């Protein structure tokens, strides 16, 4: 069996087009503010991409570039200003932040209604308790990718490798909401292979190049590869050994072109949702 490739790039493009059409007649445009602290190369690229997505769709956007040595207080001041701005409906702080700044404190200054990354305690708590909040973009995108296969999630055995607050944990919660039976694995998990081999749906969010090999996956599984790593030649690659695993499974996301573009698209979708929520569904 050779897997069908889940084309995240095309699915993401469709989501962007749908949003673009939906906001065409809006008198005021949804607005996204991105805060970037310091000069991290990868972060710079991510922020540029977010700005590009906003421009393509027709969102209003503001990029706030702050120096590396800025104080936590100053960032919080800016967030409070954006919390009160009528032009801004979504606020994100590009992570990681410099060591002297406490990420959690900064993130939780964002008004939950404008927390389009879904990282505040309120939105994380809503997800945990099964209430409607803004969802973290990467796991939300992964669910869309799984659904795009047409395979029912309900009753499936799903294994998530990784337990971070931004990917692994919310991913497992979302899969459970879709009625999968979930197992979460991490660096201290024993007999990882025995567990991953049971998975009808396997989500790898580890950060280790090509760690998931063909002997670790079940025949016909759906594989979602969140990892973004550099391989031995400096080329972008996922956590899954794509070339070999694809011969054994039914669906697989590539890296690049899988989860990455969907994460970007879900940020745009969250910004629209935040806008509609803030305006009581009116535009």
For residue 119, give the nearest of 137, 131, 102 by alpha carbon: 137
H-helix or E-strand containing 237?
strand 236-237
Please give the residue whose beta carbon sits closest to ligand NDP in the complex.
164
Number of other CB atoms surrounding residue 189 within 10 Å: 15
Binding site for ligand NDP (CB under 6 A): 138, 161-164, 166-168, 185-189, 192, 205-208, 226-229, 259-260, 263
| Cβ-contact 255, 237 below 8 angstroms | yes
Q: Which is nearer to ligand NDP, 107 or 226 (by Cβ)?
A: 226
CB of 264 to ligand NDP, least distance (A): 8
- In 3D space, the residue among 274, 269, 236 whose CA is nearest the CA of residue 138 turns out to be 269
Catalytic residues: 50, 94, 117
Token couple for 220? 């016909």
Compute the least distance from the CB of residue 140 to ligand NDP, in Å: 11
CA 230/CA 146 separation, integer angstroms: 25
Are residues 198 and 218 in contact, defined by beta-carbon separation less than 8 angstroms? yes
Smallest gap from Cβ 43 to ligand NDP, in A, equals 12
Could you give the CA distance from residue 160 to residue 182 in angstroms, rounded to a whole number? 7
Nearest distance from C-beta of residue 166 to ligand NDP, angstroms: 5
Residue closer to ligand NDP by CB (options 164, 244) is 164
């Amino acid at each position: 069996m050779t897997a069908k490739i889940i084309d995240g790039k095309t699915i993401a493009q469709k989501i962007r087009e749908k949003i673009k059409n939906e906001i065409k007649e809006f008198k005021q445009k949804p607005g996204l503010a991105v805060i970037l602290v310091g000069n991290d190369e990868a972060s710079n690229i991510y922020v540029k991409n977010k700005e590009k997505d906003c421009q393509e769709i027709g969102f209003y956007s503001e990029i706030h570039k702050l120096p590396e040595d800025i104080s936590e207080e100053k960032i919080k001041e800016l967030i409070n200003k954006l919390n009160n701005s009528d032009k801004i409906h979504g606020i994100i702080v590009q992570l990681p932040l410099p060591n002297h700044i406490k990420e959690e404190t900064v993130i939780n200054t964002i008004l939950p209604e404008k927390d389009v990354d879904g990282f505040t305690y309120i939105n994380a708590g809503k997800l945990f308790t099964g209430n409607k909040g803004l969802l973290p973009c990467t796991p939300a995108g992964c669910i869309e990718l799984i659904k795009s296969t047409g395979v029912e999630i309900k009753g499936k055995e799903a294994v998530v490798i990784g337990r971070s607050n931004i990917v692994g944990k919310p991913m497992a919660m979302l899969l459970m909401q879709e009625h999968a039976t979930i197992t979460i694995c991490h660096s201290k998990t024993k007999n990882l292979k025995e567990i991953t081999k049971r998975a009808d749906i396997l989500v790898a969010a580890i950060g280790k190049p090509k760690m998931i090999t063909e002997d670790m996956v079940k025949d016909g599984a759906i594989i979602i590869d969140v990892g973004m790593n550099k391989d031995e030649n400096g080329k972008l690659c996922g956590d899954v050994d794509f070339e070999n695993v694809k011969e054994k499974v039914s669906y697989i996301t590539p890296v690049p072109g899988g989860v990455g573009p969907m994460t970007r698209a879900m940020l745009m979708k969250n910004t629209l949702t935040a806008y509609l929520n803030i305006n009581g569904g009116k535009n």
